Structure formats: C-alpha cells, structure tokens
Amino acid sequence: MKRVEVKLDLTNVAPLLDVLKNASDALRDRLALPLNLPTLDPESVEQWKSDLVESQNDDINVLLKLFNRDFFTEETVAFDEANADAVVRACSALKLYLYYEYLSDLDDEDFESDAVAYDLLTEPQQKPFLAFMFLDTLQKVIMRHLNDLILEG
C-alpha cells in the first residue's frame, strides 16, 4: 500500500486546526456551496442535499481524525489509499467555506497566483487564509504522491 507521511510543526498547525474545527461545525448542516437544482422537485433537492451534506461531513471527519493524539505526539499525518479521496474532498469543501466566508473580498488574481500580501490581511482573515493555504498544500501533496490511487478510486 502506497503511503505518504508528512511531518508538521505542531506550533504552526494547532491554531489552524481550531479554524478547521470551526469550519467543520459551520458545515455540519449545510453544503460548502449552495445547491441549486431548479429542475428538480423540492423533495428530491432536499434528499440530494441531505446526502451530500452527510458525505461532506464524513470526508471532513476523515481529515480531522488525522489530527488525533498520535499527531500531537509525533507531529505526523499519513495519507494512503484508505483516506486520500476523502481528505482531498474535505480540503475542497473546507477551502470553499473559508474562501466564501472570510476571503472572497481578496483580489482574485492575487489569490489565484499566491500573491496575497499576508501583512495586508485583516485580523479576521489571517488564520482562515493560513488554514486555506494549509489545506491547499495538503491537497497538492496528496495529488502529487497519490494521484494514481485517487484516479483509480
């Protein structure tokens, strides 16, 4: 089984985990992006939304469980075929939430090119921005090293 272990600095990651936990709580009963299916009847839309929220929460739980007691002692998280898909999807959902909740007023070109000047961010934007970048980096690590497992999944 292909496995990637990533060593993380606890002092840098711990504050971001608080942001991710808060985002997870905010997404408990809603999707990261609104569901707009005007051609379906309201009952079908509600069922589909419910299923998607459940799946989104399952994925986020897989991600958050990586930061367990072992992480706080070893400062390492591991990605493999058992969690790679869910972690990539969880990162996407959390990134969408963080972007639309805290970062959407940033210049799109700066944001897309990683040219955001951290010093110019407001205090309420700083930790969500760092959490967004952390999630983005996790996705890139997984996609770079486990892309074949994700595509097969």
pLDDT at 38: 81
Q: How far apart are CA 21 and CA 66, in angstroms?
A: 13
Q: Which amino acid is at 46?
A: E
pLDDT of residue 150: 53
**Residue in the structure block whose two tokens are 């090119």:** 113
Q: Which amino acid is at 44?
A: S
Cβ atoms of residues 2 and 84 within 8 Å: no
Predicted pLDDT of residue 37:
80
Environment class of 144 (CB within 10 Å of its CB; exposed 0-12, middle 13-18, buried 19+): exposed
| 60, 86 contact by CB (below 8 A) | no
Indicate the pTM of the whole model: 0.91
Q: Could you tell me the residue range of the domain that residue 44 belongs to?
A: 3-152
- Which portions of the chain are predicted below pLDDT 70? 1, 148-153
How many distinct structural domains can be found in the chain? Answer: 1
* Cβ atoms of residues 70 and 77 within 8 Å: no
Q: Return the residue matching tokens 């009963």.
A: 29
Angle at 148 between CA 111 and CA 9, to 5 degrees: 50
Instruction: For residue 77, give the H/E element and its range.
Output: strand 76-80
Tokens at residue 152, please?
A: 């097969």
* Residues 52, 83, 54: CA angle, nearest 5 degrees: 15
